[in-house]
Amino acid sequence: MCGIIGYIGPDPCAQILVQGLQKLEYRGYDSAGIAIVDGGQLQTRRARGKLMNLIETLARDPIDGTVGIGHTRWATHGGPTEHNAHPHSVGSVAVVHNGIIENYLPIKRELIAAGHTFKSETDTEVIAHLVWQNRQRGIGLEQAVMEAVRRLEGAYSVVVVDAEEPDTLIAARLASPLVLGLGEGRNFVASDIPAILSHTRRMVFLDDGTLATVRRDGVVVRRISDAVEVPVEERTIAWSPSLAEKGGYKHFMLKEIHEQPDAVANTLRGRVSLERLAVDLPELQMSAEEFAALSQVYVVACGTSWHAGMVGRYLMEDLAGISPHVELASELRYRRAPMDERTLIIAVSQSGETADTLAALKDAKARGVRVLSICNVIEASIPRASDGTLYTHAGPEISVASTKAFSTQVAALHLLALHFGRLAGRLDDDTMRAELSGLVRAAASMERMLQHDEPYLQAARAWHEARSMLFLGRGALYPLALEGALKLKEISYIHAEGYAAGEMKHGPIALIDETVPTVVLAPRDAHHDKVRSNLQEVKARGGPIIVIHTEGDEETAAMGGIAIPIPDVPERILPLVCALPMQLIAYHMADFKGTDVDQPRNLAKSVTVE
């Protein structure tokens, strides 16, 4: 939820920390702060609101020094004020934290009874007090942090600096992400890769329950439970730093929408063989016998990833004869759904860090369930907890509103459905050939669609002041209607509902009047006639229509006040191409309204708390 960064090296680090925080700001933007050891003293600057406020504070009141930590906050405990902003410091110690300390209250009471005075309402501040208490007993910084974090329950990634031991940073994690970046004479700590990618591609992904002592000349990692040193496993990241820049686009969201043809091609790359009519997914680590032994499949996810999972259900039913339960992770983890060794659970997550998805997956795993994941961020917690992972290779997604994550997840689920269909012996060569070439050609169709933005601008001009909108779809396009509504809500703050088109007459049609536009997904598919009837029902009640129709289908186009054409693609490719109008309607509406498209209010990119 929050973003954290640390640096130790030869260079003045205020700028390095701020640049890292710029890359992390998507994780939270309620406040920001840095603490640097400057001339043997701890210097802290914090500011409420966006990072820009901290930058202005630093311009007025700069700090020097070559060891420091930084934080950008999504508020959980305590309002978004300056005194709740991280870093939290006590004595010479400063701490930044991402996560939630569930037992902070009893610790806080104990510390207050021992004479400590608290300056914030945060759960984090107890960590600073615990470390400082240990330091006052004469314990070295590494051990002081080790003993402090052993007392914590919940989730944390923390980085600690101490002006009295200025050549060391201590980082520790439990159920919140943390990566070390290795350089020459300088090392980094961050919540995720893009924050430090411009400095190094050499990364170490810390395991849960480990603590790293980071110095200029190297890092040592130990288990928190028994302080035993564990090997440092270095990975080289292939992402280029420019992927984490806007590249001339007005917003990251627009850039990421436009990256989708390439991103989908990357998801397919090396996995599709048109010669052998095969999908190669060795990373699943699953044999044909193991597949045959399965009795049920769950797909578990949150938000946009859940919508992708819903599309996956249609694909698996059609292609593999499997009907997975597609579940919201926050619900499934508290249900007693029967699962055993013959169950497969597929976790879908862009970040690989979503707390509910991770918890649902771990819970299933503890019951002997086989766990696969579809994930974008390499070595994130969800893939690390999985038996096999299908990486989507979408590249970093910075905008809070998910776009290329969705289309690449849909492409990955399509591959999985084809793979399972082949294992189940259900797909003949002709079907396989048609499916694979449809998938391979999807990127070109998406590319072509991205050349035209007039209908979206028209829709945005006409309806950006609407108070409410509806999105209708049927079959595999029902989840697209949900996704269109979610995108619009989160970035334009216009209330929106996605519905299965056939469900309208069971209640929601009462919402229709001339002020409530309805987006209808009505391309030529098996549901075309029925959706057109649903469209007419809305129209007959005075509801304005924005219709998504197949190119050349002028009759359907004429049914909408605004018509958005999409290429004539095979039916199972429609969810991929229909993702674009859903995203672009929301984007242009929000841009017209002038909202903060990439960092919408109240949201954070990775939801690493429950």
Q: Which is nearer to ligand M6R, 31 or 350 (CB)?
A: 350
Rounded to the nearest whole angstrom, what is the least distance from the CB of residue 23 to ligand M6R in the complex?
Answer: 16
Kindly give the pairing relationship between strand 468-473 and strand 495-500.
Answer: parallel
Q: Which is nearer to ligand M6R, 180 or 485 (CB)?
A: 485
Q: Which one of residues 92, 134, 354, 550 is an interface residue with ligand M6R (CB under 6 A)?
A: 354
DSSP 3-state of 482: helix
Strand partners, 46: 33
Q: Which one of residues 401, 439, 535, 557 is an interface residue with ligand M6R (CB under 6 A)?
A: 401
Find the binding residues for ligand M6R in span 25-84 (CB under 6 A).
none
The question of whether 250 is a catalytic residue gets the answer no
Strand partners, 169: 161, 214
C-beta separation of 560 from 510 below 8 A: no
The interface mask with ligand M6R, positions 441-480, x = CB under 6 A, is ----------------------------------------
Residue 498: phi and psi, rounded to 5, are -105, 135
Spot the catalytic one: 108, 255, 539, 605.
605
- How many residues in the shown chain lie near ligand M6R by CB under 6 A? 17
Q: Per residue, what are the HEC states of 558-597?
A: CCCCEEEEECCCCHHHHHHHHHHHHHHHHHHHHHHHCCCC
Q: Which one of residues 168, 343, 350, 373 is an interface residue with ligand M6R (CB under 6 A)?
A: 350
Q: Which one of residues 305, 373, 550, 595 is an interface residue with ligand M6R (CB under 6 A)?
A: 305
The question of whether 578 is a catalytic residue gets the answer no
Say how many Å lie between the first and final Cα of the chain, rounded. 10
Spot the catalytic one: 2, 13, 302, 578.
2
357 binds ligand M6R (CB under 6 A): yes
**Only segment of 190-198, 394-402, 427-435, 545-553 that touches ligand M6R (CB under 6 A):** 394-402
Rounded to the nearest whole angstrom, what is the least distance from the CB of residue 366 to ligand M6R in the complex?
Answer: 20
302 binds ligand M6R (CB under 6 A): yes
Find the binding residues for ligand M6R in span 136-175 (CB under 6 A).
none
Q: Which is nearer to ligand M6R, 104 or 306 (CB)?
A: 306
Angstrom distances, CA of residue 218 to CA of 93, 165, 221, 479: 22, 16, 10, 48
C-beta separation of 131 from 96 below 8 A: no
373 binds ligand M6R (CB under 6 A): no
Q: Which one of residues 176, 213, 267, 304 is an interface residue with ligand M6R (CB under 6 A)?
A: 304
**Token reading at 491:** 């970035």
Report the helix count and the strand count for the chain, using DSSP H and E: 19, 27
Q: Which of 565, 566, 563 is nearest to 545 (CA)?
A: 563
Rounded to the nearest whole angstrom, what is the least distance from the CB of residue 394 to ligand M6R in the complex?
Answer: 11
Q: How far apart are CA 577 and CA 305, in angstroms?
A: 17
Amino acid found at 98: N
Q: Which is nearer to ligand M6R, 43 or 357 (CB)?
A: 357
Q: Which is nearer to ligand M6R, 305 or 534 (CB)?
A: 305
Rounded to the nearest whole angstrom, what is the least distance from the CB of residue 283 to ligand M6R in the complex?
Answer: 19
**Only segment of 23-31, 292-300, 348-356, 583-591 that touches ligand M6R (CB under 6 A):** 348-356
Amino acid found at 289: E
Q: Which one of residues 85, 264, 519, 607 is an interface residue with ligand M6R (CB under 6 A)?
A: 607
534 binds ligand M6R (CB under 6 A): no
Q: Per residue, what are the HEC states of 233-278?
A: CEEECCCCHHHHCCCCCCCHHHHHHHCHHHHHHHHHCCCEECCCCE
Q: Which is nearer to ligand M6R, 22 or 402 (CB)?
A: 402
Strand partners, 228: none
Amino acid found at 108: K
Q: Which is nearer to ligand M6R, 518 or 608 (CB)?
A: 608
Q: Which one of residues 37, 224, 272, 400 is an interface residue with ligand M6R (CB under 6 A)?
A: 400
Rounded to the nearest whole angstrom, what is the least distance from the CB of residue 374 to ligand M6R in the complex?
Answer: 9
Find the binding residues for ligand M6R in span 587-606 (CB under 6 A).
606
Sheet holding 93-101, edge to edge: 88-90, 93-101, 154-162, 169-174, 210-215, 218-223, 229-230
**Token reading at 136:** 């006052």
Q: Which of 341, 317, 345 is nearest to 332 (CA)?
A: 345
490 binds ligand M6R (CB under 6 A): yes
Rounded to the nearest whole angstrom, what is the least distance from the CB of residue 347 to ligand M6R in the complex?
Answer: 8
Q: Which one of residues 122, 349, 386, 583 is an interface residue with ligand M6R (CB under 6 A)?
A: 349
Give just the sign of the alpha carbon dihedral 18, 22, 26, 31: positive
Burial class (CB in 10 A: 0-12, 13-18, 19+), 585: buried
Q: Which is nearer to ligand M6R, 18 or 375 (CB)?
A: 375
Q: How far apart are CA 496 and CA 489, in angstroms?
A: 6
Q: Which is nearer to ligand M6R, 125 or 490 (CB)?
A: 490
Rounded to the nearest whole angstrom, what is the least distance from the CB of residue 402 to ligand M6R in the complex?
Answer: 4
Q: Which residue has its beta carbon closest to ligand M6R? A: 303
Residue 595: phi and psi, rounded to 5, are -75, 170
Q: What is the DSSP letter of 208?
A: T
Known catalytic residues are 2, 605
> Which residues of the chain form contacts with ligand M6R (CB under 6 A)?
302-305, 349-351, 354, 357, 400-402, 405, 486, 490, 606-607
